[in-house]
């Protein structure tokens, strides 16, 4: 059973951001399943690496779109992203050093709460600004997609989205 289910309440109204959030949910669910089923450490480490890389990719996209709509709280949101990137990287690094010292339930609870709280709290705040500047946001999203096409996170996103969308 997935730890996090995508529901409409997670929707920001920005397709690229919503798709990124679906990928992050998929990665957290994949990590949870790998840990729960006792997958070998290299598998768990690979999923953690992918989660760290995709989190950074997503935050870069989100910040580019916030710039495009001139979101007034961009700098505070960016600081939140920096803190979250450090937390996710710290989990990965602690696991790489001492897998047995990392408590799976603690990690999964942190990631689940982080993602849910961030989307439902911080990300919902920029949605009206992006809706008001839909064309600028769409152009920024297209530009980001073009710049990052072929990158590992972009490829991962396509694979995860294909797996989670009907």
Please report whether residue 157 resides in a domain: yes
Please report whether residue 4 resides in a domain: no
Range of the domain at 115: 14-164
Q: What was the pLDDT predicted at 58?
A: 94
Q: Rounding to the nearest 10 degrees, give the CA dihedral for residues 163, 164, 165, 166.
A: 80
Kindly state the DSSP code that residue 118 receives in the 8-state scheme: I
Q: What six digits make up the tokens of 148?
A: 């990052």
pLDDT in single tens digits along all 166 residues of the chain: 788 888 999 999 999 999 999 999 988 888 888 888 887 788 888 888 998 999 999 999 999 999 999 999 999 999 999 999 998 899 889 888 988 877 777 778 888 888 888 888 999 999 999 999 999 999 999 999 999 988 988 887 888 777 766 5
Please report whether residue 69 resides in a domain: yes
Q: What was the pLDDT predicted at 2?
A: 81
Residue 148's closest CA among 21, 54, 78, 15? 54
What is the sign, positive or negative, of the torsion defined by CA atoms of 143, 147, 22, 103?
negative
How far is the C-alpha of 132 from the C-alpha of 153, rounded, in Å?
28
- The domain that contains 132 carries what CATH number? 1.20.120.50
Q: How many domains is the chain partitioned into structurally?
A: 1
pTM for this structure?
A: 0.90
Please report whether residue 97 resides in a domain: yes
Q: What six digits make up the tokens of 87?
A: 């937390």
């Amino acid at each position: 059973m997935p730890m996090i289910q995508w529901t409409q309440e997670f929707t920001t109204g920005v397709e690229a951001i919503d798709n990124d959030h679906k990928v992050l949910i998929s990665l957290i669910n994949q990590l949870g399943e790998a840990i729960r089923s006792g997958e070998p450490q290299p598998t768990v480490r690979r999923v953690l690496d992918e989660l760290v890389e995709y989190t950074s990719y997503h935050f870069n996209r989100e910040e580019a779109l916030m710039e495009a709509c001139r979101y007034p709280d961009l700098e505070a949101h960016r600081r939140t992203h920096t803190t979250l990137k450090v937390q996710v990287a710290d989990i990965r690094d602690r696991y790489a050093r001492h897998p047995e010292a990392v408590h799976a339930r603690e990690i999964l609870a942190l990631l689940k709460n982080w993602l849910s709280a961030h989307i439902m709290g911080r990300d919902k705040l920029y949605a009206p600004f992006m809706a008001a500047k839909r064309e600028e946001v769409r152009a920024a999203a297209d530009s980001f997609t073009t710049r990052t096409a072929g990158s590992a996170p972009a490829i991962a996103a396509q694979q995860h989205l294909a797996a989670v969308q009907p």
